[in-house]
Amino acid sequence: MLPAVELPAWAYPVLFATGLVAGTVDAIAGGGGLITLPVLLGLGVPAPLAIATNKLQGALGSGSATWSFARRGAVDLRECKLGILLTALGALGGAYAVRLIDPQFLGALIPWLLAAIVIYMIFRPRLGETSRRHRLGAAAFYTVFGLGLGFYDGFFGPGVGSFWTIAFVTVLGHDFVRAAAHTKVMNFASNLASLILFALAGSVLWLPGLAMGAGQLLGGRFGAHLTLTRGARFVRPIFLVMAALVALKLIYASLTR
């Protein structure tokens, strides 16, 4: 049974504004969870409920961005069917595994891996500016990364958008715009799958989540618009900044735990 959580009336405009900003940033480069989760926790929402509620607003934001990218032709959802399915299955497995395995061991490894990716990208300044030849077929790619990153998102989550983006750029050869679009599709699949499990467990605070999600709906569309109109040179530095911030936050948390 959910513990009683009553937010003051002024919290709901704050949640909406937070979702708007986070949805915009997340659609461009990922990392929106750096904004939304601390706000939920700061308003006094217990951590397990904040994580579950964060999936609700994240599903709305990634769904909005996915629709905008697909409508503008940046991603073909029919070509992503296998990826959507495997990512959702991976996320369901990860969300279930949280009950069985302590996720802290990932918390010690992931930030250093993310930091290494940022350093690699800095020394490859042209990577992601244009599309390149892919290194794996789509079926093999989604089997490996869909199941793997879907599981990670359901199990732990921080930085998953950055990992998806770098996978699309380095393995499938996408430029940053196409990578951002496809990342949102996979984020939506894993967010929705995880949300279903959390909702069945009764862990979602619906009113706060929907208030933040309303902002995410607008922010996701706006972020997708900026990505499509400004191009890869606009997305790349924002991606690097957000990935670095996620890595630093997680490193700090692991060192001070």
With respect to residue 158, please indicate whether it lies within any of the assigned structural domains: yes
pLDDT score recorded for residue 215: 96
pLDDT score recorded for residue 49: 86
Count of the separate structural domains present in the chain:
1
pLDDT score recorded for residue 118: 65
Query: Measured between alpha carbons, how far is 61 from 211 in angstroms, rounded to an integer?
Result: 12
With respect to residue 2, please indicate whether it lies within any of the assigned structural domains: no
pLDDT score recorded for residue 130: 56
With respect to residue 5, please indicate whether it lies within any of the assigned structural domains: no
pLDDT score recorded for residue 140: 93
The pTM score is: 0.85
Query: Measured between alpha carbons, how far is 107 from 156 in angstroms, rounded to an integer?
Result: 8
pLDDT score recorded for residue 125: 57
Query: Measured between alpha carbons, how far is 126 from 187 in angstroms, rounded to an integer?
Result: 25
With respect to residue 1, please indicate whether it lies within any of the assigned structural domains: no
With respect to residue 145, please indicate whether it lies within any of the assigned structural domains: yes
Residue 4 contacts residue 198 (beta carbons within 8 Å): no
Q: Which domain holds residue 45?
A: 11-256
With respect to residue 4, please indicate whether it lies within any of the assigned structural domains: no
With respect to residue 107, please indicate whether it lies within any of the assigned structural domains: yes
Q: Which residues of the chain have pLDDT under 70?
A: 1-4, 98-99, 101-111, 113-114, 117-118, 120-134, 254, 257
Backbone φ/ψ region at 202: left (φ over 0), alpha (ψ -120 to 50), beta:
left
pLDDT score recorded for residue 128: 47
Residue 41 contacts residue 196 (beta carbons within 8 Å): no
SS3 category, 159? coil
pLDDT score recorded for residue 50: 86
Query: Measured between alpha carbons, how far is 56 from 153 in angstroms, rounded to an integer?
Result: 14
With respect to residue 30, please indicate whether it lies within any of the assigned structural domains: yes
pLDDT score recorded for residue 122: 67
pLDDT score recorded for residue 233: 81
What's the one-letter identity of residue 255? Answer: L
